[in-house]
Structure formats: structure tokens, C-alpha cells
Amino acid sequence: MDHSGHGMTMDLPPFTLGRGLEWSADPFFLVACLVGLGLYGWGVVRLVRRGDKWPVGRTAAFVIGVLTVALMMCTRLNDYGMVMFSVHMVQHMVISMVSPILVLLGAPITLALRALPTAGRGRKGPRELLLMFLHSRYMRIITHPAFTIPLFIASLYGLYFTPLFDTLMGSKPGHIGMMVHFFAVGLVFFWPIMGVDPGPHRPGYLMRMLELFAGMPFHAFFGIALMMASEPMVGTFMNPPASLGIEALSDQNAAGGIAWAFSEIPSVLVLIALLFQWYASDQRQARRKDRAADRDGDKELEAYNAYLASLNAQGR
């Protein structure tokens, strides 16, 4: 197999799912995934050893999220994604819209803040630096919807419909950088909406739903534009290797269908997560009110009853 030009001239056989799932690790993403899993595992073990609990569901979500990245980048899906628009689009959609959601549900920042030791008075260790970063102006900017929604949209239209995509696909560092960018965009877009971790921008649940649906239609329009096109629109995929037995325009149409479908799937996943979080928040608030009522003899209710009694007396 010729790997020159970072896979641009690879003589790949026709795509099948079995061939796509064969092992073909990208060293950068393999190391990144192993480091991510190792650090998360260290945090969980540290909590358990000191007698604290960490939800199994969060661990499962994080592990599956990291494994989805490995599935896209450490199998031959990554090789086929260099020459097939449809396979590349699966990579893009999973890494930008599925992996970030699962990783965020794993609450890695909360785990880090609980697992990392405090440095002591007047000193700054990893935990203190992480807190400073979370409260920085930079974080307030990159998690604000005025930034995240345009970035989410520009990552589609500004990349695929300009020469930038072909430039990045022409080199291994460019391709790696683009995939890291997709993952990062997904994180900053979905974090304020449904992330478990604390963040500088955390609006109410209704506003979060509006933020979610503000970005998704542009994904659908992007997919429709690819499906409706009468000629190939992206230079990288205009001349697929003959060994694949595919035609560039039909493969682009398939890529558009994938992009369109993925605008629906994550929306449903995030909406379900948001509704569960909203319900849990209401339950916690109700329990707090009950505890407060137990402590003060429910003075709020007594005051309200007194108010009703005064209104009744005035009406006589």
C-alpha cells in the first residue's frame, strides 16, 4: 500500500465495513486516547481509594466517547477517509458530534477537580491552574454562544467550501490538526448546553435548548447542499482511486446524506440528556426547599397563609 502524500494515492480495495474496521492506528490519536483513558482511570481510582464514589455511568460515557475517537482514527476508516468523502464525513460527524457529547457526560473536569490534590496556601498546582483556566476570560469567550454557534457553522462551510480543506488534507499534520479541531469545536459547542462539568457560561435549560437548535439547521442545510450538487465540490475527493470502484459525485451525495442525518441524531441525544438534567435539577431544588422548610418550620408557607388571611379580612 502506497502511503505517500499521506494516503492520497493509496491503492485501497472497494470499501466494506469489515475492511474499514481493520486496525490501522494513527500514532497521534492512539497515544492521545490511551493518555486520556489512563488519566481518567487514575482519577477514578484515586477517588475510590479515599472512599468517595464516582458514578459508573460517567465512567462508561467517557470510555465509550474516547473509544469512538479511536474507532474513527485508529482503523482503516481513517485510510478510506482520505480518499472517500462519505467515510471522511462519518469521521467528521462522529468526532465532532458524538465523541464530545459522550466525553462531556463523563465529567472529566469535575473528576480532575476532585482527584487532584490542593497545592496549599500561596502555591499553585495543577488543580489551582485548572480552576484559573476555567474562570479565565478566554473560557468565557470560547463557551459563549456568540462564539460557539458561528464556530460550529464555520467549521462546515468555511472549511469544505474553501481551499482550506484541500490544504489540510494534503499533509499528515494538517489532517491531524483538522480532526483535533473537529473534536474541540464539538466540546466547546456542547459543553455549555449539556456538559456536566462547571463552566463559565451556563444559561437556563430553555436557553440551552435554543442554543442547540440554533446550530443544527445549518448542519442539515450543509448536507442538503452536498446532496443536491450536480458536480463534485471538494477537490480532495474529485478523483477517487479506480480500485475503489466509486464515482465522485455519488460518493459526495452519500456524504451529504450522512451530514444531514447526523444533524438529527445528536440533537435527540442532547435533548434527552438535557431533559434528564432539568428533571434532576428540579428534584434537587425541591429537596433543598423541603430541608429548609424542616429547619425553619416552613415560614414561607406560613407567611403566604397569613397574606391570604389578610386579603380575606380586607374583603369582608
pLDDT at position 257 is 93
Q: Where are the beta strands (DSSP E) in 169-216?
A: none
Mean pLDDT value of segment 30-47: 97
Higher pLDDT, 309 or 112: 112
Of the pLDDT bands very low, low, confident and very high (cuts 50, 70, 90), residue 207 is confident
Q: Could you report the per-residue pLDDT of 133-189, keeping only the tens digit for each?
A: 888 888 888 888 889 889 988 888 889 989 999 999 999 999 999 999 999 999 998
Q: Could you report the per-residue pLDDT of 216-245, keeping only the tens digit for each?
A: 788 888 999 999 998 988 989 999 999 999
pLDDT at position 198 is 80
**DSSP codes of every residue in 271-290:** HHHHHHHHHHHHHHHHHHHH
Query: How far apart (Å, rounded) are the C-alpha atoms in residues 276 and 280?
Result: 6
Q: What percent of the chain has pLDDT over 90?
A: 50
Strand partners, 135: none
DSSP code of residue 238: S
The closest of 37, 47, 64 to 110, measured between CA atoms, is 47
Query: How far apart (Å, rounded) are the C-alpha atoms in residues 195 and 102?
Result: 9
- The pTM for the full model equals 0.81
User: Could you identify the residue written with the cell 470502484?
Assistant: 245
pLDDT at position 311 is 65
Query: How far apart (Å, rounded) are the C-alpha atoms in residues 147 and 152?
Result: 9
| 189 Rama sector, left if φ>0, alpha if ψ -120 to 50, beta otherwise | alpha
Amino acid at position 202, single letter: R
Rg of the chain's alpha carbons, rounded to an integer? Answer: 25
Instruction: Give me the torsion for CA of 8, 13, 16, 18, rounded to 10°.
Output: -100
Query: How far apart (Å, rounded) are the C-alpha atoms in residues 256 and 76?
Result: 21
Average pLDDT of the chain? 85
Query: How far apart (Å, rounded) are the C-alpha atoms in residues 40 and 24?
Result: 25
DSSP code of residue 75: B
Higher pLDDT, 199 or 71: 71
pLDDT at position 282 is 63
Query: How far apart (Å, rounded) are the C-alpha atoms in residues 6 and 12?
Result: 13
